[in-house]
C-alpha cells in the first residue's frame, strides 16, 4: 500500500509542494522569532532560526543545479540536518539543559563524511536511507527531550511527544522500502515518489510542531506569572496565598489514603533585636538564609511558606514523630549555618509541631502548631515543642494513635496574653504574644 501511495504521489506537482513547504517553514520561523522577542524565551529563537535555515535549505535543494556551482552540492542537506539539530537543541534549551554543539552538528558531519565515499555518492537508495535515518534520529531525540520533562501541569506534554514521534516514524518507512529495491533505478524511482509524500508530511509537521511549541511557551509564561503571584519576593518561598493553595493539594492527596499531616510553625528568635542592632539589611539576610536552609533541609514534597515577617510554616505528609525529627533537623541546621556565615549573626529558630487528620481544617492545624511554638518561646527559645493532642477531622486516624473528637478548645491552658484567633487562618500572633 505504501508503494502505491508513493507512486500516486509522483503525479502531484512536487515543485509546488516544496514551494508551499518552504514558505510555511519560513513564515513560521519568522513568527517564532517574533514570539521570542515578545516573550524572551530562548527556545523560541532556536526553533525559529531552525525553521528559517530549513526553509533556506529547501530553496537550495529545489534550485539544484542552477546554483551548484558555486554552492557545493551537499550544502542543502547539511543545512537541513543542522536545522534538525537546532530543533532538538531548542527542546533542550526550553527545559534548561545545556547546548551540545557537537551532537547538534553530528548529522551534518556524518552526511559530509559519507559523501566522500564513491559508492554512497552513486546510490540514490543510500542517500534516501541516510537522510531518513538522520531526520528520524533527531526527531526521536526531540521527543525524548520532551519526555524527560516530568511536570504533569503541562497540558500539551503528550501532544508535544506524539508529534515528533509520528514524524520520525514516517521517515523510517522509506528506510525499509529502499532495502526492497532490487536495483539502483528502482531505488531512484522510489525516492522520487517519496519526495512528494515527504513534502506533504513536512508541511503538516512544521505547522503542528510550531503550534505545540507556542502552546508550551504560553503555558510556561502563565505558570511563571502564577508562581510570581504565589511566591515571596525576598525568600522565594511560597507566600500566604501560595502556601494555602499548595497545602490544600497535599491534604487532598493524604485524604485518599487516610494518612496524617503535620504542620511546622517557625519563628526566628529575637528577630526585632537583630534588626535593631544590625539593621534591616542584615535582618533580610537572616530571613534569606533561613529560607535557603529550610529548602535544603526539607524534602521537595513538603510545602513551605512565609506567612509574614519572621514567621514561616510548613506542611508535611508525615506523622508527629517524623515531623518532629524534620523540625529538629531544620533547627540544628539553621543554628550551624548562622554560626558559619559571614554575617556572624547568632540567629536561632523556635519550632512548634502539630499533627492531625488530613480531614482537619488547616487553620486549626496551624493554630495548634502556633500554640506549641508559643511554648517553645516560653521555655527558652531555640527548641522544638509539639502539640499535646492531634487534630481530628472526618477521619480519626493519626500515626500517634486514634484521634479523639476534635475538642472545642485547646487541651492545654493558653496564658491570658493569648488573644482569640487573629483572622481566619492564624492562631494568636507571635507578634502579640512574644517579646522580641
Which range has the top average pLDDT, 118-122, 141-145, 295-299, 394-398?
295-299
How far, in Å, are 93, 239, 250, 367 from residue 424 at the CA level? Answer: 44, 16, 20, 10
| CATH 3.30.70.270 domain range(s) in the chain | 240-433
Average pLDDT over residues 217-242: 85
The pLDDT assigned to 381 comes to 93
Q: Please give the sequence-ordered ranges of beta strands (E in DSSP) within 150-256, or none if there are none.
A: none
Q: Within 13 Å, how many C-alpha atoms sit on residue 37's CB side?
A: 7
Classify residue 222 as exposed, middle or buried by CB count within 10 Å of its CB (0-12, 13-18, 19+).
exposed
CATH classification number, 2-229, choose in 1.10.20, 3.90.350, 1.20.1070, 1.10.3470: 1.20.1070
Poorest-pLDDT segment among 2-6, 181-185, 205-209, 278-282: 181-185
**pLDDT recorded at residue 171:** 64
Task: Determine the pLDDT at residue 100.
Answer: 94
Whole-prediction pTM value?
0.58
Residue 378: phi, psi to the nearest 5?
A: -70, -25
pLDDT in tens, 137-188: 888 888 888 777 644 444 445 666 666 667 666 666 655 555 544 444 444 4
Least confident span in 22-26, 227-231, 375-379, 387-391 = 387-391
What are the E-state strand segments in 66-144? none
For residues 123 and 115, give the distance between their C-alpha atoms in angstroms, rounded to a whole number: 11
**Contact (CB, 8 A) for 349 and 269:** yes
Tell me what pLDDT residue 394 has: 53
Residue 73 DSSP SS3: coil
Higher pLDDT, 17 or 165: 17
**Which three cell numbers, joined as nine digits, stand for 113?**
563524511
Distance from C-alpha of 107 to C-alpha of 113, rounded to nearest angstrom: 10
Does position 81 have pLDDT exceeding 90, yes or no?
yes
Rounded CA gap, 127 and 138, in Å? 17
Please answer whether residues 436 and 375 qualify as being in contact, where contact means their C-beta atoms are separated by less than 8 angstroms: no
Least confident of 218-222, 371-375, 379-383: 218-222
Beta bridge partners of 10: none
Q: Out of 1.20.1050.10, 3.30.1510.10, 3.30.200.20, 3.30.70.270, select the CATH number for domain 240-433.
A: 3.30.70.270
Q: Check residue 154 and give its pLDDT.
A: 44
φ/ψ (deg, to 5) at 383? -155, 170
**Average pLDDT score over the chain:** 78
Q: Which helix (H) or strand (E) holds 169?
A: helix 157-170
283-338 pLDDT tens trace: 999 999 999 999 999 988 899 999 988 999 999 999 999 999 999 999 999 999 98
Quick one: pLDDT at residue 422? 32
Element housing 398 (H / E): strand 397-398
CATH 1.20.1070 range(s) for the chain read 2-229
Confidence band of 20 (pLDDT split at 50, 70, 90): confident
Residue 352 exposed, middle or buried by CB count within 10 Å (0-12, 13-18, 19+): buried
Residue predicted with more confidence, 173 or 339 = 339
Amino acid at each position: 500500500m505504501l508503494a502505491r501511495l508513493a507512486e500516486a504521489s509522483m503525479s502531484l506537482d512536487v515543485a509546488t509542494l516544496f514551494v508551499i513547504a518552504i514558505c510555511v517553514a519560513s513564515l513560521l520561523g519568522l513568527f517564532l522569532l517574533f514570539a521570542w522577542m515578545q516573550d524572551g524565551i530562548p527556545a523560541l529563537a532556536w526553533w525559529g532560526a531552525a525553521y528559517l535555515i530549513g526553509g533556506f535549505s529547501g530553496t537550495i535543494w529545489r534550485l539544484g543545479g542552477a546554483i551548484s556551482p558555486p554552492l557545493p552540492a551537499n550544502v542543502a542537506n547539511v543545512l537541513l540536518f543542522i536545522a534538525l539539530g537546532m530543533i532538538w537543541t531548542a527542546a533542550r534549551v526550553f527545559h534548561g539543559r545545556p547546548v551540545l554543539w557537537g551532537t547538534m552538528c553530528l548529522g551534518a558531519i556524518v552526511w559530509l563524511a559519507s559523501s566522500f565515499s564513491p559508492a554512497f555518492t552513486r546510490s540514490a537508495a543510500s542517500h534516501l536511507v541516510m537522510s531518513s535515518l538522520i531526520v528520524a534520529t533527531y526527531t526521536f531525540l526531540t521527543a525524548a527531550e520532551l519526555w524527560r520533562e516530568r511536570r504533569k501541569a503541562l497540558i500539551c506534554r503528550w501532544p508535544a511527544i506524539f508529534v515528533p514521534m509520528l514524524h520520525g516514524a514516517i521517515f523510517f518507512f522509506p528506510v525499509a522500502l529502499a532495502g526492497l529495491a532490487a536495483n539502483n533505478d528502482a531505488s531512484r524511482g522510489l525516492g522520487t515518489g517519496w519526495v512528494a509524500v515527504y513534502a506533504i508530511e513536512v508541511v503538516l509537521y512544521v505547522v503542528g510542531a510550531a503550534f505545540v511549541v507556542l502552546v508550551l511557551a504560553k503555558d510556561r509564561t502563565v505558570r511563571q506569572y502564577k508562581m510570581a503571584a504565589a511566591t515571596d519576593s525576598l525568600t522565594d518561598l511560597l507566600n500566604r496565598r501560595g502556601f494555602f493553595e499548595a497545602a490544600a493539594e497535599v491534604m487532598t492527596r493524604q485524604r485518599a489514603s487516610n494518612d496524617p499531616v503535620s504542620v511546622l510553625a517557625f519563628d526566628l528568635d529575637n528577630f526585632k533585636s537583630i534588626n535593631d542592632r544590625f539593621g534591616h539589611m542584615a535582618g533580610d539576610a537572616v530571613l534569606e538564609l533561613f529560607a535557603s536552609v529550610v529548602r535544603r533541609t526539607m524534602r521537595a514534597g513538603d510545602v513551605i511558606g512565609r506567612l509574614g515577617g519572621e514567621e514561616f510554616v510548613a506542611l508535611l505528609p508525615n506523622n508527629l514523630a517524623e515531623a518532629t525529627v524534620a523540625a529538629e533537623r531544620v533547627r540544628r541546621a539553621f543554628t550551624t549555618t548562622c554560626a558559619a556565615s559571614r554575617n556572624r549573626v547568632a540567629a536561632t529558630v523556635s519550632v512548634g509541631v502539630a499533627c492531625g487528620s488530613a480531614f482537619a481544617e488547616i487553620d486549626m492545624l496551624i493554630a495548634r502548631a502556633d500554640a506549641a511554638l508559643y511554648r517553645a518561646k516560653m521555655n527558652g527559645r531555640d527548641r522544638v515543642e509539639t502539640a499535646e493532642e492531634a487534630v481530628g477531622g472526618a477521619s480519626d486516624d493519626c500515626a500517634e494513635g486514634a484521634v479523639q473528637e476534635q475538642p472545642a478548645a485547646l487541651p492545654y491552658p493558653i496564658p491570658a496574653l493569648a488573644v482569640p484567633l487573629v483572622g481566619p487562618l492564624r492562631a494568636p500572633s507571635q507578634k502579640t504574644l512574644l517579646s522580641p
